[in-house]
């Protein structure tokens, strides 16, 4: 890699290359640099190559890989600024705004190609909202986000699993009163 980093995302693309995006570098004292870069690793050669950059450095983001080769970088943060999502493909980047910035959320790719983003910690540089119970659904064919049903509980650091019946099971995480043992279903 061009620089050491942590809290980045790593995804294996259909081509077999490994995509590393975002993250940050911390020198152990006071210096912290957030990366907007994306790099590809080709295991057969052991070489790294740079690919499209995000408009802002970020960490705490999640990547969704689509069958057409496009990559959706969902949210993330830097210091106290929370970010929306970015679509990254071979032709560059397209801004795809959600209504709520967040991190420590989950994202789940449904078989129909839509993406469910649920929960997390939200806010922006002007207002820190805290834990979220909201959800949004991204439709890549239309390029739009729509509001999903709210969860009954706000949660961060939870899991979300796509079930064989196309429902998404959201489990556990942390809520306002501590660790959660509850689960919710999205359809």
Alpha carbon distance 100, 84 (integer Å): 7
Give the closest residue to 115 by CA, choosing from 153, 174, 83, 162: 162
Q: 34-38, 63-67, 90-94, 144-148: which has the highest mean pLDDT? A: 144-148
Q: Is the model more confident about 132 or about 6? A: 132
pLDDT tier for residue 76 given thresholds of 50, 70 and 90: confident
> What would the mean pLDDT of 55-79 be, rounded to a whole number?
78
168 or 78: which leads in pLDDT: 168
**Range with top average pLDDT, 14-18, 127-131, 134-138:** 134-138
Domains of the chain: 9-186 (2.120.10.80)
Angle at 32 between CA 95 and CA 38, to 5 degrees: 40
Would you say the pTM of this structure is higher than 0.75?
yes
Q: For the segment 34-55, what is each residue's pLDDT rounded down to a tens digit? A: 787 888 899 899 999 998 887 7
* pLDDT given for residue 134 in this prediction: 93
Percent of the residues in the chain that have a pLDDT greater than 90, as a whole number: 35
125, pLDDT greater than 50: no
pLDDT tens for 149-186 read 999 999 999 999 999 999 999 999 999 889 999 999 98
Higher pLDDT, 9 or 146: 146
The answer, yes or no, to whether residue 79 has pLDDT greater than 80, is no
Question: Residue 152 corresponds to which tokens in the numbers above?
Answer: 């009954």
CA atoms 110, 113, 114, 119: torsion sign: positive
Distance CA 73, CA 56 (A): 11
* Phi, psi of 130, rounded to the nearest 5 degrees: 95, -155
Rounded to whole angstroms, what are the CA distances from 40 to 10, 62, 87?
A: 10, 17, 17
pLDDT of residue 71: 82
């Amino acid at each position: 890699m061009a620089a050491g980093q942590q809290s980045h995302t790593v995804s294996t693309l259909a081509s077999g290359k490994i995509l590393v995006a975002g993250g940050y570098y911390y020198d152990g004292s006071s210096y912290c640099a957030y990366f907007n870069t994306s790099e590809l690793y080709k295991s057969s050669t052991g070489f790294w190559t740079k690919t499209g950059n995000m408009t802002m450095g970020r960490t705490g983001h999640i990547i969704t890989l689509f069958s057409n080769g496009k990559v959706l970088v969902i949210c993330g943060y830097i210091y106290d600024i929370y970010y929306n999502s970015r679509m990254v493909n071979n032709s560059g980047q397209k801004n795809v705004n959600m209504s709520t910035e967040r991190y420590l959320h989950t994202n789940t790719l449904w078989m129909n190609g839509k993406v469910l983003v649920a929960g997390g910690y939200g806010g922006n540089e002007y207002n820190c909202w805290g834990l979220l119970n909201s959800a949004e659904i991204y439709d890549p064919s239309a390029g739009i986000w729509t509001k999903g049903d709210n969860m009954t509980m706000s949660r961060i650091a939870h899991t979300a699993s796509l079930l064989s019946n196309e429902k998404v099971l959201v489990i556990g995480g942390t809520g306002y009163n501590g660790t959660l043992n509850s689960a919710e279903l999205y359809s």
